[in-house]
């Protein structure tokens, strides 16, 4: 390979050499010093409650002497509000649809991947996604499916479609989590529309159908960790939930299915707020979490999949072979992930959601 040196640089180098000879300067030995990074003594993680095993945080503290201050939020809206209020967090876990707005508004710091070398373990399927090209601001954490849970002893028909949530048979017994980017996409898919559609006609039809659902359903409080106890007690006979809910079913006759129209895939991602003064420590923690054996430990204890291919040998066979946790490709064929919306689309969704929440059940 030929190296081209511009003429002005070449003559500058010759002139420097001549000056050294004429002035008889002594040579100086330059030694490179290795700079040891300075880490914080505490890292503040803002996340859903019980969403990272304590044993993993303890292992990080034991290895590095850095305490984890785990702060949890109850709603994504609360998390966004606090980030915009510039409260002191070093790492936050968020869904993909919320991330572009935050980095466009300057609330997120870019990740220095020279400090997160274990990012190489992340599956290519979860890299460079549309909401964050090049993963400049985010690193994938958990992912999973959204489906329908129902009491098979109290539901006298086969449940196969999102539209079954609207069946008159279940009036007053449908449990709905008040999460806009779950309810709206579910409704859109039940109508045969894309889960992230911004078409006004699609959204108007979705609103009308959502208002119908609001009349015959009840909202599940966010203080509940799962809809399973509500189904087990008979307060609801059907509702939407997640694969994790299905794994908490014990003796209750409850079934989890992914509708024929496809699941709404969810995922959560780590981001570093721009206000963090411990960015280097946050990147150290991210690198730690992406170690294959640590990701495997997280999956084994939480039962949530992670986008870490290198962790597979460390995942319990009963988990990696469980089709509820890791669905086969044919089950995921029609599934969609929630994406960020345009400013115009976001306003439409917010308006629809406000009307849904303001409506009163019959």
List, for residues 88-131, the tens digit of each pLDDT value. 999 999 999 999 999 999 999 999 999 999 999 999 989 999 89
| pLDDT > 70? residue 71 | yes
Domain ranges of the chain: 42-143+266-327, 146-262+335-358
Task: List beta partners, residue 254.
Answer: 151
Mean pLDDT of 83-90: 97
10 Å CB burial of residue 115 (0-12, 13-18, 19+) is middle
| pLDDT > 90? residue 171 | yes
**Mean pLDDT across the chain:** 89
The highest-level CATH class for domain 146-262+335-358 is: alpha beta
Asked if 53 contacts 297 with a C-beta cutoff of 8 angstroms, the reply is yes
Compute the distance between CA of residue 243 and CA of residue 324 in angstroms, rounded to an integer.
6
* Torsion sign over Cα 283, 287, 288, 290: positive
At 176, the pLDDT band (50, 70, 90 cuts) reads very high
At 147, the pLDDT band (50, 70, 90 cuts) reads very high
The pLDDT value given to residue 35: 66
The pLDDT value given to residue 332: 86
At 75, the pLDDT band (50, 70, 90 cuts) reads confident
The pLDDT value given to residue 61: 98
At 223, the pLDDT band (50, 70, 90 cuts) reads confident
At 221, the pLDDT band (50, 70, 90 cuts) reads confident
The pLDDT value given to residue 272: 98
Ramachandran class of 252: left when φ > 0, alpha when ψ lies in -120 to 50, beta otherwise? beta
The pLDDT value given to residue 16: 37
At 329, the pLDDT band (50, 70, 90 cuts) reads confident
The pLDDT value given to residue 33: 52
The pLDDT value given to residue 333: 85
- How confident is the model over 341-350, as pLDDT tens digits? 999 999 999 9
Task: List beta partners, residue 91.
Answer: 45
The pLDDT value given to residue 361: 76
At 22, the pLDDT band (50, 70, 90 cuts) reads very low
* Residue of 104, 98, 78, 100 whose CA lies nearest to 89: 78
Q: What percent of the chain has pLDDT over 70?
A: 90
Say how many C-beta atoms besides its own lie within 10 A of residue 284's C-beta: 21
- How confident is the model over 269-310, as pLDDT tens digits? 999 999 999 999 999 999 999 999 999 999 999 999 999 999
Compute the distance between CA of residue 353 and CA of residue 203 in angstroms, rounded to an integer.
11
The pLDDT value given to residue 360: 80
Q: Which of 16-20, 68-72, 280-284 shows the lowest per-residue confidence on average (mean pLDDT)?
A: 16-20
**DSSP state for residue 340 in the 8-state scheme:** -
Compute the distance between CA of residue 196 and CA of residue 194 in angstroms, rounded to an integer.
5
Same fold, 42-143+266-327 and 146-262+335-358: yes
At 34, the pLDDT band (50, 70, 90 cuts) reads low
Top pLDDT among 59 and 337 is at 59
Asked if 96 contacts 89 with a C-beta cutoff of 8 angstroms, the reply is no
Asked if 319 contacts 77 with a C-beta cutoff of 8 angstroms, the reply is no
| pLDDT > 50? residue 84 | yes
Strands (E) in 158-237, as ranges, are 174-176, 217-219
Please tell me the CATH code under which domain 42-143+266-327 is placed.
3.40.190.10
């Amino acid at each position: 390979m030929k190296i081209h040196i511009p003429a002005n640089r070449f003559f500058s180098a010759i002139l420097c050499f001549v000056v050294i000879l004429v002035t008889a300067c002594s040579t100086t030995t330059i030694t490179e010093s290795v700079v040891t990074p300075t880490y914080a003594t505490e890292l503040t993680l803002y996340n859903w409650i019980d969403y990272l095993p304590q044993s993993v945080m303890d292992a990080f503290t034991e290895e590095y002497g850095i305490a984890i201050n785990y702060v949890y939020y109850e709603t994504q809206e609360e998390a966004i509000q606090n980030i915009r209020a510039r409260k002191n967090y070093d790492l936050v876990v968020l869904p993909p649809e919320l991330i572009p707005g935050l980095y466009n508004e300057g609330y997120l710091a870019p990740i220095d991947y020279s400090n997160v070398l274990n990012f190489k373990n992340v599956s290519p399927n979860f890299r460079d996604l549309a909401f964050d090209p090049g993963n400049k601001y985010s690193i994938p954490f958990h992912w999973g499916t959204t489906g329908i849970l129902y009491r098979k002893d109290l539901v006298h028909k086969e449940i196969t479609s999102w539209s079954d949530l609207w069946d008159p048979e279940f009036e007053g017994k449908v449990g709905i989590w008040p999460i806009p980017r779950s309810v709206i996409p579910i409704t859109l898919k039940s109508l045969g529309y894309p889960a992230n559609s911004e078409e006004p006609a699609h959204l108007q039809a979705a609103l009308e159908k959502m208002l119908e659902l609001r009349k015959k359903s009840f909202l599940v409080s966010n203080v509940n960790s799962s809809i399973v106890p509500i189904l087990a007690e008979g307060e609801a006979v059907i509702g939407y939930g997640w694969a994790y809910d299905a794994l908490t079913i014990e003796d209750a006759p409850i079934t989890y299915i992914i509708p024929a129209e496809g699941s709404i895939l969810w995922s959560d991602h780590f981001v570093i707020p721009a206000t963090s003064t411990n960015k280097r420590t946050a990147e150290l923690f991210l690198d730690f979490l992406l170690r294959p054996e640590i990701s495997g430990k997280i999956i084994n204890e939480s039962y949530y999949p992670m986008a870490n291919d290198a962790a597979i040998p460390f995942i319990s066979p009963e988990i990696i072979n469980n089709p509820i946790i890791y669905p086969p490709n044919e089950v995921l064929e029609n599934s969609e992930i929630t994406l960020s919306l345009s400013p115009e689309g976001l306003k439409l969704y917010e308006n629809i959601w406000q009307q849904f929440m303001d409506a009163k059940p019959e």
